[in-house]
Amino acid sequence: MSGNTSGRSSGRGQKASSNAAGRGGNRRPNPGKSGGAGNASANGASRSQKPKTSARALAVKVLSAVEQDGAYSNLELNRRLKEAELSPADAGLATELVYGTIARLNTLDYYLERYVAKGVSKLQPWVRSLLRISVYQMIYLDRIPEHAVVSEAVNLAKKLGHQGISGMVNGVLRNMIRNRDELRIPENLPVAERISLEHSHPLWMVERWIAYYGEETTEAICRANNEPPAVSVRVNTTMTTRDKLMHEMASTGAVVEASQLSSDGILVRSGGNMALTSWYRDGLFSVQDESSMLVAEAVAPEEDQLVLDCCAAPGGKTAHMAEKMHDRGRIVANDVHAHKRQLILDQAERLGLSCIDAVTGDALDLNERYPEASFDRILLDAPCSGLGVIRRKPDVKWTKSVEDIEDIASLQRELLDRVAPLLKPGGILVYSTCTIEPAENEDMVADFLNRHPEYRPAEASVWTKSETAKLKVVNGGVQILPQYAHSDGFFIARLTKTVE
């Protein structure tokens, strides 16, 4: 969807960018505490039919593929869900088990470590995954009886392994149930370690954020990262208005409310899969996170301007800019891959936008393809570590390292240097990321401004139009943390080139 930006690539920066996207896809809009026990067990199939995969078996297979083969959890989950043809309830349970288990990974292992005699790391991957999803259900899904969790786990262990493994699984889980009151994080741990275990984030990440944001804010970030992401849509203002679309949606029983971050946004509290509605097919809205909507607002393109979107795929922000321009002018939307170029074109066609010119090429070479001072507006929605979208992509926190952040920051620096000459004097350059890492955000902008005296922060009145007016503006940019509005973590800087 259009709010999914951490996978945008520059070409030579593609590897870092694809890593930044993490392995998780968009998570379920509601927490799985209402998930049922999952009726499609491995032993419940009719003898005359091919045995059906259960929600738990599917989750174990997905998690094992992620751990063993480096599979992307969203792609692996979607593939197996299509093959399994589970009921909606069981598909929901499988989804919750996959993303919930990944989100709470080190907390689950902390609890298991005390009850697995030879240690969690010595288990076969599928056994480790089975125990993890079982403990996740026991601790975080309060409508699934513990006896059902144990029974399903034991049956699945027999099917996938042998009697000895099923006995071990039974013993571990029943022992944990007997000692249920001991399944808690000690309060006397050092602060960083307590936050790491209580909210399930890598210790290095917690320590890094504490050094910059402080303990209280860091804990709020980690807590917010484990919340289910909100569903929000962006109104196509070339076709309708927010008020009119909200009225239509409410008339069908959907529960909606106006976004407080973006004047084009609608929060959908209930109403089904928005991408399957006629409103989506007819181009009346795009599915996009609220924070992501603020990027086009910062660019503030005007009619008849020439705009460059350096790393444009899948085209959500590109389309939003076109809508802001009333589809008058021209947007050069660049991406390195031909198939991603097609995503941009498909989106423009669905939304009825004709001013988007999608091109293919490495963003690091844009300065060789276009003359200096060519564009009125430039958007560099840069490849990044993706640490602002952990709630949607929980595996990103387990696949990232300090070295990854340093590598991607080097690419971001080079991209800024390459595209900076392409802006006209008096124009606006917007630099944005979906991360909360200062090295990729305000420190990056400060370094850029120090090396490019022809640039300065642009006036910040654009932020007064929304809740971002409350945020601190540094170097012409705002850092949106995930707990501020229960939206994605984002950084958006608005810079201008001095008129000569």
Q: Assess whether the previous peptide bond of 190 is cis (omega < 30° from 0).
A: no
The encoded tokens of residue 115 equal 């009850």
* Distances in whole angstroms, Cα of residue 241 to Cα of each of 236, 246, 282, 484: 8, 9, 14, 26
Angle between helices 125-140 and 105-113 (to 10 degrees): 100
Helix axes 55-69, 73-84, angle to 10 degrees: 150
Catalytic, 434? Answer yes
Our measurement of the distance from residue 499's CA atom to the centroid of its chain's CA atoms, rounded to an integer in Å, reads: 38
CB 226 within 8 A of CB 104: yes
**Order of strands, sheet of 285-287, starting from the edge strand that comes earlier in the sequence:** 255-258, 265-270, 232-235, 285-287
Contact 387, 399 (CB under 8 A): no
d(CA 257, CA 236) in angstroms, rounded, equals 16
CA 11/CA 361 separation, integer angstroms = 7
3-class secondary-structure state, position 122:
helix
CA separation, residue 351 to residues 262, 365, 398 (Å): 19, 29, 36
How many Å is the Cα radius of gyration of the chain? 24
Residue 449 one-letter amino acid? L
Strands (E), 182-294: 232-235, 255-258, 265-270, 285-287
Identity at 9, one-letter amino acid code: S
User: What single letter denotes the amino acid at residue 294?
Assistant: L
CB 195 within 8 A of CB 222: yes
Query: Any residues with CB less than 8 A from the CB of 161 and at least 6 apart, and which?
Result: 124, 126, 127
Neighbours of 394 (CB within 10 A): 25
Non-local CB neighbours of 39 within 8 Å, separated by 6+ positions: 87, 89, 90
List the structure tokens of 488.
Answer: 């994605």
Distance between CA atoms of residues 209 and 221, nearest Å: 9
**3-state DSSP assignment of residue 57:** helix
How would you classify residue 308: left for phi > 0, otherwise alpha for psi between -120 and 50, otherwise beta?
Answer: beta
In order of 176, 222, 426, the CA distances from 181 in angstroms are 9, 24, 63
Catalytic residues: 434
